[in-house]
Structure 1
């Protein structure tokens, strides 16, 4: 698991995970990417890579609908942040895909970068990125 330190300045925690590795994490918003974005693991050249690799990152971003999903989650996260910030609470957003190594990693990193650019202190955790690739019959 890749997990940076969360401190008192952190306002939003973003987590990627894989549904094939257990229950989704506790979060205010859970986004299921399994049926809305192309799976890079279906391509043998990218299967063993993760969303941290530039070619996987670009593959996910090039999938039609990716920016619509990201824009919707960004706006929802902004609203949750405003509501929770009044009570000095952190907001947690989780992105899930099948194995937690590709799509969820890319969108978690993209959301984190966008929120940090807006001045909302955000950290990201990749729960299942180091797990082995899960082979399925799909």
Structure 2
């Protein structure tokens, strides 16, 4: 179930600005939003935005913005956000899509397109310049989505989860597990280190399974610090989720990391996701390292869903 992205007391038109580096998936996100009923306009010059919103509007509006816009600049976009929200009374949110450099280079190679900021040079030059240009906008984003490991289908599903209308007004929570060896996922709001917990890697019968396996879950849960660790995290999350919701946040990302991203972090992510889903929060799960493994591996799962 996806959360309502804007405050219930918002006035004016609902405006979603979609931006991010070229190649990060903006077109896919825009198309998904159009299918959800948004009125979509791509690459509208920022100078025309106030005039557009002065006219009659029948529903939510999604605007695709990037460096190809005729008068694009970070300062102009931030100024437009402030003007729309504070002076004109519109309910404005910014969806920022990003991906790591290797992914963006691969996508440009696959499409054989030139980067708009480096039409005659290597894509990496344009990618670096664009990310630097967009850095102030990224800081202002309300929802940050890293598409590095996402297919177009995955991104559409994430956009639908976040922005589908009529799905309630709760803040959406995504919970991820990851390996510290591969670095922290981008866009996490809270991160918990699970590397002190009992490690199933050292049990030959459990090593090849993951934290969704009932035996692995039980093994990690036997650590004498496990229950207190999970209880304290759940208490902290229970405290901050309503506060973030009251502040108008649309999404909160929580990460659990361990050495390999296969056992302890997965157990913690599964446990917290199940608990929050039981409490009624819209929850999505993502096990980053599991996506790189054979999906048929991992053994018997505990059977709950979030």
TM-score (norm 2): 0.40
Structure 2 counterpart of 1:14: 175
Shift of 1:24: 4.3
User: For the aligned residues, what is the CA RMSD?
Assistant: 2.2
TM-score (norm 1): 0.84
Shift of 1:79: 2.0
Match of 2:225 among 62, 65, 78: 65
Structure 2 counterpart of 1:104: 265
Matched, 1:42 2:202: yes
Give the stretch that moved more between structures: 73-82 or 99-108: 73-82
Deviation string, structure 1 residues 2-40 (Cα, Å, up to 9, x no partner): x8x4413562111000101223443221000112x1110
Deviation string, structure 1 residues 37-78 (Cα, Å, up to 9, x no partner): 111001111111111111101111121111111111111112
Matched, 1:113 2:278: no
**Unmatched 5+ stretches in structure 1:** 133-138
Matched, 1:127 2:293: no
Matched length: 131
Write the distance in 1 (CA, Å) between the matches of 2:291 and 2:204.
18
Write the distance in 2 (CA, Å) between the matches of 1:118 and 1:33.
23
Of structures 1 and 2, the larger Rg is shown by: 2
Shift of 1:91: 1.2
Higher-RCO chain (CA-CA 8 Å, sequence separation at least 6): 1
The runs of at least 4 consecutive aligned structure 1 residues that moved more than 3 Å come to none
Matched, 1:56 2:208: no
C-alpha change, 1:38 and 1:104, in structure 2 (3 Å) is same
Write the distance in 1 (CA, Å) between the matches of 2:242 and 2:179.
28
* SS of structure 2 residue aligned to 1:82: helix
Write the distance in 1 (CA, Å) between the matches of 2:291 and 2:280.
29
Matched, 1:76 2:236: yes
C-alpha change, 1:25 and 1:96, in structure 2 (3 Å) is farther
* SS of structure 1 residue aligned to 2:290: coil
* SS of structure 2 residue aligned to 1:17: strand
Shift of 1:128: 0.9
* SS of structure 2 residue aligned to 1:94: strand
Larger proportion of helix: 2
* SS of structure 2 residue aligned to 1:47: coil
Say if 1:11 and 1:85, in contact at 8 Å, map to a contact too.
no
